[in-house]
Structure 1
Amino acid sequence: MVTDFNDVDGEDLTNPDIIAENEVAFEGALRPQSLSEFVGQTKVRGQLELLLKAASMQSRTPDHILLAGPPGLGKTTLSMIVAEEVGKPLRMTSGPAIQHAGDLAAMLSSLTPGEILFVDEIHRMARSAEEMLYLAMEDFRIDIMVGKGAGATSIPLELAPFTLVGATTRAGLLPNPLRDRFGFTAHLEFYDAVELEQVLIRAARLMNFEISAEAVKIIASRSRGTPRIANRLLRRVRDYFLVHNAVSDTAAVDAALELYDVDTLGLDRLDRAVLRGLLERFGGGPVGLSTLAVSVGEDSETIEAVVEPFLVRAGLVSRTPRGRVATPTAWEHFEIPQPNVL
């Protein structure tokens, strides 16, 4: 099947001006606008649908929602869908941007009735802001301190009813008082290959990019169970086809992904560096995290938060009390003979 860079109206999508317009439109259209359009997370979608419908039937604001899960699984998209489903405005911010209680107070006091407040990486909020949020979530009010020392007084400020949608990649870092105030907590799971194929087919259609089913399967298999990665790889493959005027077959897709250092398991350059270091320098382990990080020139936090979760989930690395250990699958993937263990 040949890549088609003309849309249904016959516009030349190689024209720079048309490309710029379509890319902007694509970024907005790529995110689903409703729960029915959202691919994957079937259980979470059903739970959210029930929560939102019940709130609508009772003419009240929906309960506060906590979305927990690894990056790229759709937490921000779901927050937008919540606002769309209830027909209310969406206010977006992030935990690192709220470093003082005053920042949060200014934001909360400006919310309109029923507005959706989305806080990404909510576990990174300042502690003083978290404590102010407790009262705001339960009673829709905050206490403003006026003055200092013995003469300081607390003035209560009533807030318009709102729904807080918090997103976190580290749910364990949320303090219990904050986590318990969410009426619903959704745990997003990694996508399987079939769901990722549906994501890719939809994205390819929005890009006016014809691609074979076999090529879609290859991209899905290398996307690490994450829609964000799948869409990014699809765009890089599209770019490769455009530049090389390639035919949409599996060989061309393989060449494009190889160019961007994505191997058959979805490992990137850093993943392979960590695994090769573990296999070749430390004989497969066990080795401590900090030692492994120094050996590849990265900090241990990056290895632990970015690289290791996928390697463990893919069955390439095991975490033991003595350190990280390569599994037989890792030796096999790099075609390195596994040493005999006495």
Structure 2
Amino acid sequence: MTDPLISAFASDEDAVADQSVRPKRMSELIGQHRVREQLHLLLQSALRRGSPPDHILLSGPPGLGKTTLAMIVAAELGAGLRMTSGPAIERAGDLAAVLTSLQHGDVLFIDEIHRIARPAEELLYSAMEDFRVDVVVGKGPGATAIPLDVEPFTLVGATTRSGLLTGPMRDRFGFVGQLEFYEPEELEQIISRSARILDVPIMEEGAVEIGRRSRGTPRIANRLLRRVRDYAEVRGNGVVDLRAARAALRVYDVDDLGLDRLDRAVLMALLRAGGGPVGLSTLAVAVGEQPDTVEEVCEPFLLRSGLIARTPRGRVATASAWRHVGIPAPAGTVGGGNPASGLSQTPDLFSLEP
């Protein structure tokens, strides 16, 4: 239901291109002003003391720059960076091998840290606090715990579901940063910067249009820039201007609000159910996706845009959602509305585009 070219999940080709446009230092980072200032103080203080900074937890929806910030932390500290992910750490021994290989002052980045296995999480507690791990050798009554020292390091954890972190894990982080969606003006700056790096001719109005439809997410903004560049090179004059941006985004099914196919599928599933409430698992089945994908990829932007609301009984469509597809909302709809009419009257969403 979702096009990998414009979804929040990157293909291998996109990952290579994303790497080339990532900011390398704090001074190059656009947006996230509060987290950037807080991290700057934390890192500068650690550098003056000559010791690793407190462990850092970064939370927020996918594509907002958690991995980029981890790389920037390592670069600002002049330290080595080791990267892994929570699902990849299945056993405590896997984590022990990583921890004992760290050099003094290294940065260890664990993406999706809320999905780390419980035995590995418990091993991580002592490593974060005491820079020590206990490796258990053998089984049963003859099992022996061998203490191993770990070089002082800084853990940077990233999560899209901070509520799933256990209390003991969260308490061991000295700094917790919540990344917010970007404003269109910030995305315009990011797109212009990426265009310079990728050597893409771009007009200001083209950058504005792409930024406005990027769902507040730099990863999606950079991906849309490359797709509009492709369109401009094949069907235009090679310049990313307003006409090329609008035409390309129509081809790639990104509507005027920035909703892609999966977003609209979720929205239409709600509207076909009379606007809800509809449970998360039911929505996921209706659109052919996993519940985690709907909750982590679609919901944050739909909620932020005021198109859906969460209630104790499930998700409901707001009056704005009905207006977006050009259908009068049922009486009692969140945000107001008029008597409902059938979904058979739904127009092509792109016919509403200016």
TM-score w.r.t. structure 2 length? Answer: 0.86
Residue 170 of structure 2: which of 166, 179, 193 is its match? Answer: 179
Letter in 2 for 1:199: I
Aligned AA (1:106): A
Tell me, in whole angstroms, the C-alpha distance in 2 between the residues paired with 1:290 and 1:157.
Answer: 44
Task: Select the residue among 50, 63, 66 that pairs with 1:72.
Answer: 63
Taking a change above 3 Å as real, the CA distance of residues 296 and 33 of structure 1, as seen in their structure-2 partners, is closer
Confirm or deny that 1:214 pairs with 2:194. no
Percentage identity across aligned positions? 64
Aligned partners of 1:65 and 1:184 also within 8 Å: yes
Residue 26 (structure 1) shift: 5.4
Deviations 1:292-336 (A, max 9, x none): 333333343432332222211110111223332211111111111
Q: 2:26 aligns to what SS in structure 1?
A: coil
CA contact (8 A) 1:120 1:166 kept: yes
Partner of 2:120: 129
Match of 1:85 in 2: 76
Match of 2:97 in 1: 106
Q: Is 1:274 aligned with 2:266?
A: yes
Which sits farther off after the overlay, 142-151 or 31-40? 142-151
The residue number in structure 1 matching 2:111 is 120
SS of 2:90 mapped into structure 1: coil
The alpha carbon displacement at 1:284 in A equals 1.9
Q: Work out which of the residue numbers 163, 169, 189 in structure 1 matches 2:154.
A: 163
For 1:272, the aligned partner's letter is: R
Other-structure match for 1:7: none
Q: CA deviation at 1:77?
A: 0.6
Quick one: structure 1 residues 295 and 153, their matched pair in 2 at CA, closer, same or farther if it must change by over 3 Å?
closer
Task: Render the CA deviation track for 1:79-102: whole Å, top value 9, x for unaligned.
Answer: 111111111111111111110000
Letter in 2 for 1:306: V
Of the candidates 245, 251, 255, which is equivalent to residue 259 of structure 1? 251
What displacement does 1:24 show? 9.7
Two-structure CA RMSD over aligned residues (Å): 1.9
The size of the alignment, in residue pairs, is 320
Structure 2: distance between partners of 1:146 and 1:299: 38
Q: Aligned ranges for residues 1-342 of structure 1 at < 5 Å?
A: 27-246=18-237, 247-279=239-271, 281-341=272-332
Q: Which amino acid aligns with 1:233?
A: L
Q: CA deviation at 1:251?
A: 2.0
Shift of 1:74: 0.7
How far is the alpha carbon of 1:38 from its aligned partner? 0.5
In structure 1, runs of 5+ residues without a counterpart are 1-22
- Gaps (5+ residues) in structure 2? 1-13, 333-338, 340-354
Q: 1:296 to 1:158 in 2, by over 3 A?
A: closer
Q: CA deviation at 1:27?
A: 4.5
CA distance in 2, matches of 1:207, 1:215: 15
